[in-house]
């Protein structure tokens, strides 16, 4: 196992009715800015619950944060923070609203040009306004990690950043608020959490038995419960387990002390920057193709994945690897997600643009060995046409 330094300061308030508890975790004298997205939180009654919980606090609201949140919108929220002298940010929504919340909290407390937060991937951040979250879409893990991804539509760039100052102080996880998710978002969430787990697990072995065992349990849970959430949307235990699985998939625990990949994510971000394809769908396109392409360096872990996640034990090694990759692709399809580039209107010319984007954004040494260059990404994408 590699050395690691692990600390996760986010308090989790989990379960039915827990939105009411935020009143005890936002400082009594705080001036709060409640952030939300395109209106789902209003329609589903989540915002009403938040307003009730904050009835003894001073708070303002800022709605309209887009999926794949936009830099320009986030800067408008920063202006509101300055105008209203806000001291606490509360992001109510999915990964997009929470990611925007992280950027807004850091940018509002940053003296330079906020674009530098993204060009330095967060290393210039030295402080941020404290913020909490109410999660409405289990998927990204943003509710319990320090990372975020912001899109600058004018520059055609979707860039990640992270900072130890960007952990939420608390996150409310009430599985009942996920009953209203459309099937498309349920599927996106399951596939995103699946790929987060794979990117920290399916690399090369370092005798990290706890991390591997946790990761395999998360993957098997997603495989079992993902389709169930589509069939029986109001099943509390299914929703609760999915919600906790998605959080655990990217809160630092399974990634501590192990090599990490993230090539699928970085290639996927370029696809979204190109045509706004849902984040999880880009991953469902890239991952099976990348696993096939990288089957030599990932060989030992692919065989472990085949055995411990899919129960594939018969046949020669190459056959087992083929079967595990095919099972992965079929799982994404069973969740209703298409896995070829052509399904999203992408052909050869767009692959050129994706490869150029990787180059321009410095994504030139991807994967657990840092050897996946843009030209390797081209080969991976061409195999997914
Ligand atoms: O905008 P509203 O109206 O709120 O609707 C949203 C949005 O249209 C809707 N929704 C959310 N909760 C709902 C609901 N609809 C009904 N009922 C509910 N309870 O769902 C739509 C998608 O929401 P979004 O927040 O965009 O989805 P997701 O949580 O999948 O977040 C995706 C973003 O997170 C980034 C992605 O790149 C993408 O920008 N990621 C963030 C990561 C992180 N911070 O660690 C890691 C991930 O790999 C990912 O890159
Ligand atoms: Zn993701």
- Our answer on whether the CB atom of 133 is closer than 6 Å to any ligand 1 atom is no
Q: Are residues 318 and 248 in the same domain?
A: yes
Q: Is residue 157 part of a domain?
A: yes
Give, using CA atoms, the residue closest to atom 36 of ligand 1.
Answer: 279
* Phi and psi angles of residue 120, each rounded to the nearest 5 degrees, phi first: -100, 10
Q: Are residues 305 and 163 in the same domain?
A: no
Q: Is residue 199 part of a domain?
A: yes
Q: Are residues 199 and 270 in the same domain?
A: yes
Q: Are residues 143 and 271 in the same domain?
A: no
Q: Is residue 230 part of a domain?
A: yes
- Our answer on whether the CB atom of 279 is closer than 6 Å to any ligand 1 atom is yes
- Our answer on whether the CB atom of 99 is closer than 6 Å to any ligand 1 atom is yes
- Our answer on whether the CB atom of 162 is closer than 6 Å to any ligand 1 atom is no
Q: How many domains does the chain have?
A: 2
Q: Is residue 6 part of a domain?
A: no
Q: Are residues 74 and 122 in the same domain?
A: yes
Q: Is residue 291 part of a domain?
A: yes
- Identify whether the C-beta of residue 291 lies closer than 8 Å to the C-beta of residue 302: yes
How far apart CA 50 and CA 105 sit, in angstroms, is 19
Q: Are residues 168 and 256 in the same domain?
A: no
Q: Is residue 72 part of a domain?
A: yes
Q: Are residues 173 and 144 in the same domain?
A: yes
Residue ending a domain, choose from 153, 177, 201:
177
- Our answer on whether the CB atom of 226 is closer than 6 Å to any ligand 1 atom is no
Q: Is residue 357 part of a domain?
A: yes
Q: Are residues 255 and 342 in the same domain?
A: yes
Q: Domain of 70: which CATH number?
A: 3.40.50.1970
- Kindly report the average pLDDT of the chain as a whole number: 98
Q: pLDDT tens digits, residue range 264-298?
A: 999 999 999 999 999 999 999 999 999 999 999 99
| Low-confidence residues of the chain: pLDDT under 70 | none
Distance 186 CA to ligand 2 centre (A): 14
Per-residue pLDDT, 230: 98
Per-residue pLDDT, 372: 98
Range of the domain at 19: 11-177
Q: Are residues 85 and 218 in the same domain?
A: no
Q: Are residues 189 and 170 in the same domain?
A: no
Per-residue pLDDT, 155: 92
Q: Are residues 18 and 105 in the same domain?
A: yes
Q: Are residues 166 and 210 in the same domain?
A: no
Residue ending a domain, choose from 177, 200, 225:
177
Q: Please report where in the chains the tokens 């692990």 appear, as a residue.
A: 6
Determine the residue of 19, 279, 280, 287 to mutate for testing ligand 1's pocket, defined as the one with the most ligand atoms within 8 A of the Cβ atom. Answer: 279
Q: Domain of 262: which CATH number?
A: 1.20.1090.10
Q: Is residue 89 part of a domain?
A: yes
Residue ending a domain, choose from 110, 142, 177:
177
Per-residue pLDDT, 112: 96
Per-residue pLDDT, 297: 98
- Our answer on whether the CB atom of 175 is closer than 6 Å to any ligand 1 atom is no
């Amino acid at each position: 196992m590699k050395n690691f330094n692990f600390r996760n300061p986010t308090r989790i308030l989990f379960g039915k009715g827990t939105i009411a508890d935020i009143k005890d975790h936002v400082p009594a004298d705080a001036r709060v800015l409640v952030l939300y997205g395109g209106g789902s939180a209003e329609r589903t009654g989540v915002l009403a619950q938040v307003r009730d919980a904050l009835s003894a606090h001073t708070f303002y609201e800022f709605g309209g944060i887009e999926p794949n949140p936009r830099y320009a919108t986030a800067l408008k929220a920063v202006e509101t923070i300055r105008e209203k002298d806000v001291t606490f940010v509360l992001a109510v929504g999915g990964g997009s609203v929470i990611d925007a919340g992280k950027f807004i909290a850091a940018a509002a407390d940053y003296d330079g040009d906020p674009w530098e937060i993204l060009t330095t991937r967060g290393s210039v951040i030295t402080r941020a306004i404290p913020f909490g979250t109410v999660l409405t879409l289990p998927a990204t893990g943003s509710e319990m990690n320090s990372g975020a991804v912001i899109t600058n539509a004018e520059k055609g760039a979707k860039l990640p950043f992270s900072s130890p100052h960007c952990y939420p102080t608390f996150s409310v996880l009430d599985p009942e608020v996920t009953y209203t998710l459309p099937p498309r978002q349920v599927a996106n969430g399951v596939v995103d959490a699946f790929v987060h787990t794979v990117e920290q697990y399916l690399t090369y072995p370092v005798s990290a038995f706890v991390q591997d065992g946790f990761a395999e349990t998360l993957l098997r849970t997603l495989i079992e419960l993902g389709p169930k959430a589509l069939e029986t949307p109001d099943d509390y235990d299914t929703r609760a387990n999915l919600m906790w699985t998605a959080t655990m998939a990217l809160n630092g625990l399974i990634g501590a002390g192990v090599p990490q990949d993230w090539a699928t994510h970085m290639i996927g971000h370029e696809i979204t920057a190109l045509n706004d394809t849902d984040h999880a769908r880009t991953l469902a396109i890239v991952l099976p193709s990348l696993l096939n392409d990288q089957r030599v360096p990932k060989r030992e872990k692919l065989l472990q994945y085949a055995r411990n996640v899919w129960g594939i034990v018969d046949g020669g090694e190459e056959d087992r690897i083929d079967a595990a990759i095919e099972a992965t692709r079929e799982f994404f399809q069973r969740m209703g997600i298409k896995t070829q580039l052509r399904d999203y209107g992408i052909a050869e010319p767009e692959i050129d643009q994706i490869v150029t984007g990787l180059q321009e954004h410095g994504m030139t040494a991807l994967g657990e060995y840092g050897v996946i260059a843009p030209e390797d990404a081209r080969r991976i994408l061409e195999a997914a046409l």
